[in-house]
Structure formats: C-alpha cells, structure tokens
Amino acid sequence: MNIVVCVKQVPDTWAERTLRPADSCLDRASVDGVINELDEYAIEEGLLQAEAHDGEVTILSMGPQKAAESIRKALSMGADKAVHLVDDGLAGSDALGTSLALSTVLARIGFDLVILGAEATDARMGVLPAMLAERLRVPQLSLARKVEIDGNTVTVHRLTEYGYDQVVASLPAVVSVVEKINEPRYPSFKGIMAAKKKPVETLSLADAGIDPAQVGLGAAATEVLSFAKRPPRQAGTIVKDEGDGGSKAAEFLAAQKFI
Ligand SMILES: Cc1cc2nc3c(=O)[nH]c(=O)nc-3n(C[C@H](O)[C@H](O)[C@H](O)COP(=O)(O)OP(=O)(O)OC[C@H]3O[C@@H](n4cnc5c(N)ncnc54)[C@H](O)[C@@H]3O)c2cc1C
C-alpha cells in the first residue's frame, strides 16, 4: 500500500508570527519552523497503517528550503522516503495554488491513501484535504479520529459534536485526521540516524510540470489589503471581595452582557 502523508512546516507555535510589510506574507524566515501539530498525527497514522498493511510511507511537503528540517524529522519517525517541492515561484501561494501544486505531485508519484492534518496552525484554513480530493477526483474522509482499512475499503470515525459518523469509501482516497487519533511516536536515536540516509526527492516547479503562472503570490485569488497588530491586552477588572464579591462579579458579568 502506497501511503503519502502531506506535511507542512509552520512557524513554531510559541514564536511571534508577523506578516512581512513588503508583501503581507507570513515571515517564515526569522522564526523556527516545526511540523504542523496535526501532521504529526497524520504521520503516525500513516506509519500504523503501513505496519498493518505492509505499506510504504512517503512524506510530501511544499515549502522553502528550511522545510527540509521538518521532512527529516518525519523520516526519523519512521517514514520511508520523501518528496520536497521547493521553488521560489511557490512563495505566497494561496490554497488554490497550494492544492494545485500538491495534487500535481501526488498524481505524479501515485498513492492509495493520502493523509493530512485537518488544519494548519498558521493559516487554519482547513481546506486543503477537500481541495486535493476534488482535484484528484477521489473521495475525502475528513476529521478522522479512527481509520480502518479492509482490502480496498477505508472506513473512518468522523468527529462530530454529537460523537462520530462512520464514513466509508473505496481507495484511493484522501483522509484528514484530528488530534488524539493516535499517540505520535518520538523519533528514536536509531530513527534519527537512519533518516539521514533516506531518499528525499527535491522537485522544482519545472521538474513537477507545474505552470508557474498558476502558483505563488502572483496567482493568488486572495490579497491581504492591510493588517494590524493585535491591540495589547487590556488589564483585567479586579473585584475585591469584602463579603460582596459575588454580587460585584454578577454586576460585572451583567455589564458585559455575559449574563
Ligand atoms: C495568516 C495566513 C492567512 C492566509 N489566508 C489565506 C486565505 O484567506 N486564502 C487562501 O487561499 N490562502 C490563504 N493563506 C495561504 C494558505 O495558508 C496556504 O495556501 C496553505 O498552504 C493552505 O492553507 P492552510 O495551510 O491553512 O491549509 P489547511 O487547509 O489548514 O491544511 C490542512 C493540511 O494540508 C496539508 N498542507 C497544507 N499546506 C501544505 C504544504 N505547503 N505542504 C504539505 N502539506 C500541506 C497539511 O497536512 C495540513 O495539515 C494564508 C496563509 C497565512 C499564513
């Protein structure tokens, strides 16, 4: 079974994220990059399914050169090989451009199952899984908190506010996973050493046969017109309890229309 896991490098969760004044794109250069949190669950799910179904796991990442660090981390968790789509022409791609680029590479390398995180922590769009499935003309099973494969059929427990739906489809398919679907393994020392030798195919737009006019900031269908820093947090209201703390708190909540 050929399993491909899409992995996005995002700015470190604790780092301050800023947009570049020049082009309003996220400044990825001056902050540490980490694997998108939900993609760690996606990698783990890929490894578990490969172990259960005699499969192979390929990591696919579109990102600047520094994304190679996150690709190596994914390989050190146990993935077999990787494809890094890297080209200056991709900078500033919106979801349309990113989905076009990733789906072109997926069609090129082939897949039985594509696994993604349900969303990325930097843009939080939560649309790539659906866009990839649409472009690849395959089923999408989203927000999976459990994945089962039986022959040519994939079944997921799709997280809902009332519990879960059981969703079934035929392979090839795209699955997006949510937190707590599994417990991502920590790379072992042996895994980290082995990752150094694992193959990473680096593709430019030309290598992948992607039209530069359809990706990057120039092709983006959306434009950031302006942005402003979040106002500094206001000091809170301190309620001194002199036996009337409860009523003062209630008055405060009523004034804020919370109650
Ligand atoms: C602050 C900010 C705001 C943005 N606003 C918009 C907007 O309004 N409209 C728009 O079209 N674009 C927008 N973008 C660009 C958009 O983030 C990228 O195109 C992105 O690749 C897709 O959106 P996402 O990361 O939110 O993906 P999501 O749809 O949240 O991603 C889900 C999953 O897709 C996979 N994935 C995402 N990107 C990659 C990648 N590069 N390589 C490999 N796998 C990947 C990961 O598995 C991830 O878990 C914005 C970017 C930022 C940083």
With respect to residue 170, please indicate whether it lies within any of the assigned structural domains.
yes
What is the DSSP secondary-structure string of 72-86? HHHHHHT--EEEEE-
Q: Is the CB of 62 under 6 A from ligand 1?
A: yes
Give the range of the structural domain holding residue 19, as residue numbers without chain letter: 2-219
Structure token pair of residue 149:
């494969």
259 falls within a domain: no
Read off the tokens for 16: 């301050």
Q: What are phi and psi of 2, to 5 degrees?
A: -100, 105
Q: Is residue 231 part of a domain?
A: no
Question: pLDDT truncated to tens, each residue of the chain (259 aa)?
Answer: 999 999 999 999 888 888 898 989 888 888 999 999 999 999 999 999 999 999 999 999 999 999 999 999 999 999 999 999 999 999 999 999 999 999 999 999 999 999 999 999 999 999 999 999 999 999 999 999 999 999 999 999 999 999 999 999 999 999 999 998 999 999 999 999 999 999 999 999 999 999 999 999 999 999 889 988 888 887 888 888 999 999 999 998 899 898 8
Calculate the average pLDDT of the chain.
95
Q: What percent of the chain has pLDDT over 90?
A: 83
Measured in Å, residue 39 CA sits from the centre of ligand 1 at 13
Residue 62 belongs to domain with CATH number: 3.40.50.620
pTM, 2 dp: 0.92
Split into its structural domains, the chain has a count of: 1
Distance 130 CA to ligand 1 centre (A): 12
| Residue nearest to ligand 1 atom 51, measured at CA | 123
Q: What end-to-end distance do the CA atoms of the chain give, in Å?
A: 55
